[in-house]
Every structure is written in C-alpha cells, then in structure tokens.
C-alpha cells in the first residue's frame, strides 16, 4: 500500500492535560514512552494521528468547517482512510510506530462543535494511535512509510 501521499501537515503537543495544544515544527519521540513534553508521555497512546480527508468528511457531514486542532491529536496528515493502518507498523519521519487502534471520539469534541463527536464515529475519522518502537523525530513534511 502506498502511503507516501500521507505527509505531515501539522504537529501539536499539550504539555499540561486540559491545556490548549501547542503547534510545533517537530516532535521528539522516545521508544516505549511517546512524545517528549506531551502530557501523555509514558501512557498507553504514545502518538495520535488524524487524517485531513477523514476530518474533512466528518466536518462535511457536520455541515461546517472545524479546525483539526479541535481533535487534540498530535499529528495531522494529508490523505485519508487512516483506519486501514491499524495492526501495522509504520515509519513516520525517523520513528517506527506500531499502530494499535482507532481513537474513539469523546464528548469533548462536542465542545468544539455540537455534533462533532457523532460525525467522527464512522470510518475511524477521529484518527488512530500508536506506540513508539524507536526513538526519533517527526517533522512537518515527513511521509508515512511502511516497514518491510
């Protein structure tokens, strides 16, 4: 499967749980821990990814645009159909990520836009999550590649 069209458009961290996301040009990721400086470092979901086309489908169903920062993911990627990567290992920039699952949309999505939680439910539109298998850096512009 060709995933090279899936390029990083934006990167975010949230140093403090409940705080606003901070946009970054790069993210440092530590094997077995996650993103350095993110409040989720050391937790189950090391990196969360949302795909531009999946997000656009959800907001189209919602009936108006919503900035993807509202999803509170770490990585926004060009392309779509991110759910098909669950169960695979990908390389994103210099980091191998074992994609473990989809991210269920939570009620907080409705604080960003009423109805957003429901609009994100079909087709893994809320994104996917993975665990860091290697230490490295993810940068804006990096493409997803698959392990052989």
Pairing of strands 89-92, 144-146: antiparallel
| pTM of this structure | 0.93
pLDDT, average across residues 45-72:
95
Q: Which two tokens stand for residue 37?
A: 């400086």
Q: Residue 4 — very low, low, confident or very high, per pLDDT cuts 50/70/90? A: low
> Is 67 inside a domain boundary?
yes
Per the structure, the count of domains in the chain is 1
Please state, in angstroms and rounded to a whole number, the distance separating the CA atoms of residues 96 and 138: 10
Q: What is the CATH number of the domain that holds 43?
A: 2.40.33.20
> Is 105 inside a domain boundary?
yes
Q: What is the pLDDT at residue 2?
A: 55
Q: Which pLDDT tens digit goes with each residue over 18-40? A: 899 999 999 999 999 999 999 99
Q: Which pLDDT tens digit goes with each residue over 103-145? A: 999 998 988 899 999 999 999 999 999 999 999 999 999 999 8
Structural domain harbouring 14: 8-146
Q: Is the pLDDT of residue 148 over 50?
A: no
DSSP letter (8 states) at residue 76? E
> Is 3 inside a domain boundary?
no
Contact 136, 30 (CB under 8 A): no
Q: Which two tokens stand for residue 63?
A: 């009936």
> Is 2 inside a domain boundary?
no
Please state, in angstroms and rounded to a whole number, the distance separating the CA atoms of residues 131 and 44: 7
Count of beta carbons in the 10 Å neighbourhood of residue 61: 15
Helix (H) or strand (E) holding 95: strand 95-102
Contact 124, 100 (CB under 8 A): no
Please state, in angstroms and rounded to a whole number, the distance separating the CA atoms of residues 7 and 88: 17
Q: Is the pLDDT of residue 1 over 70?
A: no
> Is 127 inside a domain boundary?
yes
């Amino acid at each position: 499967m060709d995933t090279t069209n899936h390029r990083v458009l934006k990167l975010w961290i949230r140093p403090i749980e409940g705080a606003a996301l901070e946009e970054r040009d790069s993210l440092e990721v530590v094997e077995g821990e996650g993103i350095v400086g993110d409040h989720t470092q050391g937790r189950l979901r090391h990196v969360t990814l949302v795909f531009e086309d999946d997000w656009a489908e959800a907001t189209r169903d919602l009936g108006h645009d919503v900035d993807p920062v509202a999803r509170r993911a770490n990585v926004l990627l060009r392309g779509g159909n991110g759910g098909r990567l669950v169960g695979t290992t990908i390389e994103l920039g210099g980091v191998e990520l074992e994609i473990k699952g989809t991210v269920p949309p939570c009620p907080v999505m409705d604080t960003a836009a009423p109805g957003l939680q429901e609009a994100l439910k079909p087709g893994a539109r809320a994104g996917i999550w993975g665990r860091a298998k290697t230490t490295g850096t993810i940068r804006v512009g990096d493409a997803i590649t698959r392990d052989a």
